[in-house]
Amino acid sequence: MVYRYYMWLFVGLGNPGSEYERNRHNIGFMAVDEIASQYNFGTWKKKYQGEFCEGMIAGEKVIILKPMTYMNESGRSVQALSSFYKIPTSNIVAFHDELDVMPSKVKTKIGGGAGGHNGIRSMDAHLPDINYKRVRLGIGHPGDKDRVHGYVLGNFSKEDEKWLPDLLKVVAKEAPLLFQNQDAKFISNIALAMQPPKPKKEKPVGS
């Protein structure tokens, strides 16, 4: 008999503390907060060097975790919780900011390099393997590598705030597709939802 792991772990990557709350680097926290809210998850608890809550999404039991270790040590929290609940890496989904994806865009991948992201690097170091899913939430690149540190630890701009709430809502809405190996549909549905409305064609005068 093949044993089916029924539990999933959604990890939002970010830094704890109100001073980091609206940082671009914290979009992972924002995404899982929206998921927890949209699917009416239970109360947040403090354990495993993080904050976590539990709920159901499309019939699947899900734990949402926000490591409170600061970004560079995120893997310690993820390892502690996933080890206790015996969640395999194939059932872990990490939500994180991505410099190499345009703002308001989303990409996914399984495994691969950390791409300079310290939270992903820490997860890679502490998990048994790196074959977990990453939901890469685009924040864009400042154009100069010397500006990256200040950019990711800077708050979203007023211009960003025009698309950010909508993106978080649609990521949460489409989250069930992540269980179903329908990543391409997940990405395309988000892209479609984030398209600006087409301008209405004006009727010719006298028609």
Q: Which residues face 45 on adjacent strands?
A: 52
Q: From the candidates 25, 96, 126, 141, give the one annotated as an active-site residue.
A: 25
- φ and ψ at 162, to 5 degrees? -75, -35
Report CA 17 to chain centroid distance, whole Å.
Answer: 18
- Decide if 91 contacts 133 (C-beta within 8 A): no
Angle at 56 between CA 125 and CA 21, to 5 degrees: 55
Task: Count CB neighbours of 67 within 10 A.
Answer: 31
Q: Would residue 25 show up in a list of annotated catalytic residues for this protein?
A: yes
Q: How far apart are CA 157 and CA 114, in angstroms?
A: 26
Q: How far apart are CA 33 and CA 114, in angstroms?
A: 23
* Burial profile 148-166: b = 16 or more Cβ within 10 angstroms, e = fewer: eeebbeeebeeebeeebee
Q: What is the dihedral of CA 137, 138, 139, 145, to 10 degrees?
A: 110
Catalytic residues: 25
